[in-house]
């Protein structure tokens, strides 16, 4: 490495250190300006740690002095910002974690002052709302690791959601609906793979076409067949909650992690399985090789086309599972455009998670938190218009995609057709 390169890198790191430090100081000032000044002295905020109807052991609620807590969060952010300017912190993730925790906790303390906020309920809802986002993100991870972009997860989930509820209603078997949703997701993804691998159609164009087709065909079928008064095709019911013995009794974490329906549990299993397959098996090594340098992989005898076909179809199966969440895993009926952009948010979570299954899952939890938070805040009737609260998950998506929280580098061959 030359001296000029070292100097450039040092200057870049110095600018980043100053930028993060100033950002923390600004956030500290904003906490004081918006929350500290508007929090009454002498009142408390109660955070509920018990979920109604849960099997978890009961523990006392967390009661904090509202104004003091807000000022403590402000002081924490300002201190870390000053330390960042003076000495620098190597871990960007640590800085972002401190900033997010302090700002959100100060915000919740202000919003729920003199009231009670069920923190356990919000955390439990966070995982549930993150489920379709995580599955869309995992669909993108497995596809793009083999260098095929699939932005059609939104359309796949819409189609799968409708198929799930129709099959579940007709057969009166939710597992049949789940299987049908997964299979139709694989079929649609196989069509995408065939177009972009065999005919080298532009991958973005093919994904957009799937999204348009998914929205159009499901809207037509819904208005034509599913909106009748009898609901003979649109009333499947939902999977029951499954409580895992012993583990479901853990306070706070028990209701969040161990009292869910089968779709949520399957999502967690897919995260773990995908991580193991990608990083600890020969198939995963070949997948990553095809995504980074397909010519080199081909030279070593790897069937590039086969790897891409299989991984894109697997991604479709996962997106199909995500589609099933919206109907048989959540409300038991299909409504037009009910995915509400969760497929696109999943792609943002994939990028934020750096094309890593656990990273994508953690990012999805962030979006799930934003989605859950806006619902809970509407219940508190705080002085923020509900329209702005509904924007929360999409605002977080835009912040992630701007790249200000870290640069994400995709697989080197991502989106490039391969000529043997």
Using alpha carbons, select from 90, 70, 85, 72 the residue that is nearest to residue 24: 85
Three-state DSSP state, 408: coil
Q: What is the pLDDT of residue 6?
A: 47
0.75 exceeded by pTM? yes
Q: What is the mean pLDDT of residues 371-377?
A: 82
Beta-strand runs (E) in 154-225: none
Q: Could you tell me which residues come within 8 angstroms of residue 96 by beta carbon, excluding any fewer than 6 positions away?
A: 405
**95-125 per-position pLDDT tens digit:** 878 888 899 899 999 988 988 889 898 889 9
Helix (H) or strand (E) holding 37: none
Task: Tabulate helix, strand, coil % of the chain (nearest 5).
Answer: 70, 5, 25
Q: Could you tell me which residues come within 8 angstroms of residue 216 by beta carbon, excluding any fewer than 6 positions away?
A: none
Q: What is the pLDDT of residue 308?
A: 97
- Edge-to-edge strand ranges of the sheet holding 116-118: 62-65, 44-48, 116-118
Q: Are strands 242-243 and 259-260 parallel, antiparallel or unpaired?
A: antiparallel
pLDDT band, residue 7 (cuts 50/70/90): low
How many other C-beta atoms lie within 10 A of the C-beta of residue 165? 32
Q: Could you tell me the maximum CA-CA distance found in the chain, to the nearest angstrom?
A: 76
CB 396 within 8 A of CB 346: no
Query: Higher model confidence: residue 395 or residue 303?
Result: 303
Task: State the sign of the Cα–Cα–Cα–Cα dihedral 30, 34, 37, 40.
Answer: negative
**37-70 per-position pLDDT tens digit:** 989 999 999 999 998 888 889 999 999 999 999 9
Cα gap 181→317, rounded to integer Å: 8
Q: What is the mean pLDDT of residues 349-353?
A: 90
Domains of the chain (ranges; CATH) run 11-114 (no CATH), 121-402 (1.10.3470)
């Amino acid at each position: 490495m030359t001296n000029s390169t070292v100097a450039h890198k040092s200057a870049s790191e110095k600018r980043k250190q100053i930028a993060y430090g100033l950002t923390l100081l600004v956030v500290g000032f904003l906490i004081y300006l918006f929350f500290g000044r508007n929090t009454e002295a002498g009142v408390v905020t109660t955070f509920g740690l018990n979920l109604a109807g849960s099997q978890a052991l009961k523990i006392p609620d967390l009661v904090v002095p509202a104004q003091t807590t807000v000022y403590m969060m402000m002081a924490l952010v300002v201190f870390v910002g000053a330390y960042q300017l003076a000495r620098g912190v190597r871990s960007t993730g640590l800085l972002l974690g401190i900033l997010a925790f302090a700002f959100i906790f100060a915000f919740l303390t202000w919003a729920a002052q003199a009231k009670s906020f069920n923190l356990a309920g919000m955390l439990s809802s966070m995982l549930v709302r993150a489920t379709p986002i995580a599955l869309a993100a995992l669909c993108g991870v497995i596809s793009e690791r083999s260098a095929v972009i699939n932005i059609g997860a939104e359309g796949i989930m819409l189609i799968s959601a409708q198929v799930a509820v129709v099959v579940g209603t007709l057969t009166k078997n939710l597992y049949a609906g789940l299987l049908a949703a997964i299979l139709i997701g694989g079929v649609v993804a196989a069509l995408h793979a065939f177009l972009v691998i065999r005919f080298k159609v532009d991958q973005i164009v093919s994904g957009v076409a799937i999204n348009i087709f998914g929205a159009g065909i499901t809207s037509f079928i819904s208005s034509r067949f599913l909106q009748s008064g009898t609901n003979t095709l649109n009333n499947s019911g939902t999977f029951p909650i499954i409580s895992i013995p012993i583990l479901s009794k853990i306070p706070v974490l028990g209701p969040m992690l161990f009292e869910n329906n089968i779709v949520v549990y399957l999502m967690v299993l897919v995260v773990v399985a995908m991580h193991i397959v990608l990083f600890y098996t020969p198939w995963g090594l070949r997948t990553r090789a095809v995504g980074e340098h397909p010519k080199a992989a081909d030279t070593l005898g790897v069937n590039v086309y086969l790897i891409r076909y299989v991984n894109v179809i697997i991604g479709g199966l996962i997106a199909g599972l995500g589609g099933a969440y919206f109907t048989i895993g959540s409300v038991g009926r299909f409504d037009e455009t009910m995915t509400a952009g969760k497929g696109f948010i999943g792609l943002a979570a994939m990028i934020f998670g750096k094309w890593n299954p656990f990273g994508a899952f953690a990012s999805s939890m962030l979006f799930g938190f934003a989605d859950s938070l806006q619902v809970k805040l509407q219940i508190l009737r705080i002085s923020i218009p509900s329209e702005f609260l509904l924007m929360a998950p999409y605002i977080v998506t835009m912040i992630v995609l701007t790249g200000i929280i870290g640069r994400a580098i995709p697989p080197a061959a991502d989106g490039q057709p391969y000529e043997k």
